Chains A and B, each alone.
Chain A
Amino acid sequence: MKKVIAQTEINVNEEGYMTEFSQWTKEICECLAEEQGICMTEKHWEVIDYIHEKHNGNEALSIRGIKKSGVINIKEFYSLFPGGPLKKSTLIAGIPKPKSCI
């Protein structure tokens, strides 16, 4: 599916996750966040960086991983990305939705 955001056309799946990471930019990220009711702060960017790092290293994302990340604790994670932090943060970060149950 095509979607126009921040005056740019991007490819997304039916759940709104970007399918081509090469299209991801910080401007797109901010607009995706806004659609989720999230206003990006410095802490949000730190989490996005962490998520990209894990994704590039082919490491699965999980809540347990967040706990050990040293970047953010679980409580903050839930308050920064309310209503499903892992699925929202990955959507904003332009990577696929994690398949993990934990």
Chain B
Amino acid sequence: MGDTKVKKMLFILSKATIENAYAAFVMANGARMEGIESEIFFTFFGLEAIQKKKLEHLHVATVGNPAMHMPTMLGGLPGVEAFATKMMKKEMEKLDMPPVGEFLEILSDSGCKLWGCKLAVDMFHLKEEDLIDELDGIITIGDFYNRADQEGTHLLFI
């Protein structure tokens, strides 16, 4: 137990499709559960996952996603993306995966730090009150690199 060389995981989440957001959340939470420190930096479209009004409305990508095994034209039809999202959420609920808002609460309570990217926040004209209360702050990528302050730190771009 506890033999891993990984001591700290830093994630950059740049996308807001459900599959990408959950990949970051599951890995960040999994790190904390193993006693590894973890932090997430939300940038560009990843910011959707921490906007109060948008976070419960993330979608799975049905277009340009070959693993959906669905013709691209079909994936673009009205309602298809919403339907695929509903199906995926149902499957996730079966596995007891929390919805986005609750997952962020769990991460924050578990000691995972959550950061907004300053450049992207400015670019999308967002204010602090648009973002979740659990956010630890709005910082630059330079600040985030400085969070890699110990041996065994890894940085992952999603």
Contacts and interface: CB of A to CB of B under 8 A. Distances in A.
Interface residues of A, number: 22
A3 interface: no
A100 B106 CA distance: 15
B35 to A, nearest CB: 4
Nearest to A75: B109
Report which residue of A15, A16, A60, A78 has the largest number of chain B beta carbons within 10 angstroms of its beta carbon.
A78
Interface string A62-94: 111101000001110010001111110001000
Interface stretch (B12-20, B26-34, B45-53): B26-34
A102 B2 CA distance: 18
Contacts of B98: 64, 102
Contact of A87 (B34, B109, B111): B34
A4 interface: no
A71 B26 CA distance: 24
B2 A74 contact: no
B123 interface: no
A60 B1 contact: no
Contacts of A64: 96, 98, 102, 106
B70 interface: no
Contacts of B105: 67
A63 B1 contact: no
A78 to B, nearest CB: 6
Contacts of B96: 60, 62, 64-65, 100, 102
Interface of B: 1-2, 26, 29-30, 32-35, 95-98, 102, 105-106, 109-111
Interface of A: 15-16, 60, 62-65, 67, 73-75, 78, 82-87, 91, 100-102
User: Nearest 7 A-B pairs (CB), nearest first?
Assistant: A83-B35, A74-B109, A84-B35, A75-B109, A64-B98, A84-B34, A101-B30
